[in-house]
Amino acid sequence: MQEPNQQIAKTLKSLRAEQGWSLDRTAKETGVSKAMLGQIERGESSPTIATLWKIAGGFNTSLSSFLEIAPDRAQETVIRSATALRSQPSPDQMLVAPLFPHDDRFGFEMFELTLLPGYERYSEPHEPGVTEHVVVISGVMELLIDGAWITLEKGAAVRFAGDKPHGYRNLHSEPAVIHDVIHYDRDR
C-alpha cells in the first residue's frame, strides 16, 4: 500500500487529468483552494477527511478512491484485515481502515473508523442520494443528524441521509470504533 499522501496526490492528479480540469476549475468544483489543491498534488499537505470529502464530492467520486487503489474485480471472495489497513491518512483525530473501497458493482464503500478522544467533525452534505449506515463496534460516540446530536453506544446502528449536513464526535476518554457503510445512488 502506498503512503496516504502519495495515493491522495496520485488520485487527485489522475482525476484532474481525466476531467481536463485546471487547478482553478478544480477549486471551483470542490470548494478547496487552488493553493491547497496544489500542495495536496505535490504531497506537501495532508488534507483533513473533511477536505478529502469536498474533493471527492467535486469529482462525484468516492472517498475511498483517495485512500486505496480500486479492488481487483476478478476476486469474488475478498478477505481484509482492519488491523492491517488502519492508518491515520490526515491530521484528524481519526484512524481509517477502508475495509471495502468503493466498487461500482455494489454502489458502496465500507470503513472502520476509530474516533479518538476529543474528535469532532462537521460534514457538509455529500452528493445527492448518498446514504450512510453507522454501527458502533466499541465505545460511545455522538452523531449529528437533523441538527441534533444523538448518543450511540456499542451495538447501536443508524442509517441517515448523507446528503444533508451531519457530524461525528467522541467526547469520551476512550476511542469509539464504528463501521460506516456509505451507499452512492448513482441512478439519481
pLDDT in tens, 150-159: 999 999 999 9
Residue 185 has pLDDT above 80, yes or no: yes
Over residues 67-96, the pLDDT tens digits come to 876 666 666 788 888 998 888 777 778 899
Architecture of the domain defined by 4-66: Orthogonal Bundle (1.10)
pLDDT, residue 1, reads 45
pLDDT, residue 92, reads 78
Residue 137 has pLDDT above 90, yes or no: yes
pLDDT, residue 139, reads 98
pTM comes to: 0.81
Over residues 48-75, the pLDDT tens digits come to 887 888 898 888 888 888 887 666 666 6
Rounded mean pLDDT of 158-165?
95
**CATH topology match: 4-66 vs 82-183:** no
Identity at 41, one-letter amino acid code: E
Q: How far is CA 144 from the centre of its chain?
A: 16
Task: Assign domain 82-183 to its CATH superfamily.
Answer: Jelly Rolls (2.60.120.10)
Question: Where in the chain does DSSP place strands (E)?
Answer: 94-103, 108-115, 120-123, 131-138, 140-145, 148-153, 157-161, 166-169, 176-183
Separation CA 35–CA 137 (nearest Å)? 38
Over residues 97-129, the pLDDT tens digits come to 999 988 888 889 999 999 999 999 998 888 889
pLDDT, the chain, mean? 89
**HSE on the CB side for 134, CA within 13 Å?**
29
Helix, strand or coil, per DSSP, at residue 156: coil
Continuous H helices in the chain: 4-19, 23-30, 34-41, 49-58, 82-85
Domain ranges (residues) in the chain: 4-66, 82-183
pLDDT, residue 127, reads 85
Separation CA 18–CA 1 (nearest Å)? 23
Separation CA 107–CA 43 (nearest Å)? 29
